[in-house]
Amino acid sequence: MEFHVLTIFPQLIMQAVDYSILGRAMKQGIVRVFAHDIRDFTHDRHRTTDDEPFGGGAGMVMKVEPVVQCLEYAVSKYGPGRVIVMSAAGRLFKQAVARELASCCDRLYLIAGHYEGIDERVTEHFADLELSIGDYVLSGGEYPALVVIDAVARLLPDVLGNRGSLAQESHEHGLLEYPQYTRPRDFRGIGVPQVLLSGNHAAIRKFQMEAALQKTRRNRPDLLGEVNGGQNDED
Ligand code: 9D3
């Protein structure tokens, strides 16, 4: 699968992508990542990619021409694909979206803006989807694009040595993961739950289910459809 990131920081994308499972998947040829420099598609002496917003307001907006020309160049060279604008105002990127993209797309174009946002004409006329990775303010779409690439790439057959459906397991049952422990059994007097050392597999499963439920209740009551006291969620 090919991921094409349109950005003014192409080196950031390529350097980040060399690490972890993505680096391996890329060497295996399962995943290919390209970073296209939006600045290469400016035509003025200062290589300007942003401008003041019509209607006023703080900050700068990424200009439509360099972004669209960059996209058209990449599409003409590599072929068509799903076009996604990374935006704080996008639809929330969830595991289900990652699964959908992994199964239905061979080539993704991820437009990562910087500044206060991208000229809406890019989103409205040249993109299929607008995605946010969560309710917090970042300074650009570069890390969000990397998040999408990582989440989608690890679902592809043969990435991670796959394990195919195992890679999807974590959020599938709607609970958070149960806590895990490894050696040593005693770290500075802090032990591990006895039952995990018991060899009683039925008891172990039961403990893990209860621990997962307890953790979900504490950290993500929204996943259980319970009322959140306003402690953990927004901001
Ligand atoms: C005027 C309000 N703006 C700043 C408070 C909105 C805004 C514009 C541009 C907020 C962030 C950004 C830059 N962020 C992204 O491009 C972005 C993003 C994010 O900030 N959070 C979560 N997901 C994403 S995807 C792209």
pLDDT of 131 over the 70 cut = yes
pTM score, whole prediction = 0.93
Q: What rounded mean pLDDT belongs to the chain?
A: 92
116 within ligand 1 shell (Cβ under 6 A): yes
Q: How far apart are CA 81 and CA 36, in angstroms?
A: 15
117 within ligand 1 shell (Cβ under 6 A): yes
Topology agreement, domain 2-153 and domain 169-227: no
Residue 161: the pLDDT is: 66
* Contacts of 6 by beta carbon, 8 Å cutoff, 6+ apart: 36, 38, 67, 70, 71, 74, 109, 110, 111, 112
Q: Check: CATH 1.10.1270.20 for 169-227? A: yes
Residue 90: the pLDDT is: 98
Q: Output DSSP code: residue 124.
A: H
pLDDT of 195-235, one tens digit each? 999 999 999 999 999 999 999 999 999 999 976 444 444 43
Kindly indicate the confidence band of residue 160, based on its pLDDT and cuts at 50, 70 and 90: low
pLDDT of 80-123, one tens digit each? 999 999 999 999 999 999 999 999 999 999 999 998 999 999 99
Residue 87: the pLDDT is: 98
Kindly indicate the confidence band of residue 26, based on its pLDDT and cuts at 50, 70 and 90: confident
Please provide the CATH number assigned to the domain covering 2-153.
3.40.1280.10
Kindly indicate the confidence band of residue 22, based on its pLDDT and cuts at 50, 70 and 90: confident
Domain boundaries, the chain: 2-153, 169-227
Q: Which of 60, 116, 130 to mutate to test the pocket of ligand 1 (most atoms within 8 A of CB)?
A: 116
Partnered with residue 2 across adjacent β-strands are 32, 107
* Residue 65 near residue 73, CB atoms below 8 Å: no
Residue with tokens 């797309």: 105
- Identity at 172, one-letter amino acid code: E
Q: Output DSSP code: residue 181.
A: -
Residue 163: the pLDDT is: 59
Q: Give the distance (Å) from ligand 1 centre to CA of residue 117.
A: 7
156 within ligand 1 shell (Cβ under 6 A): no
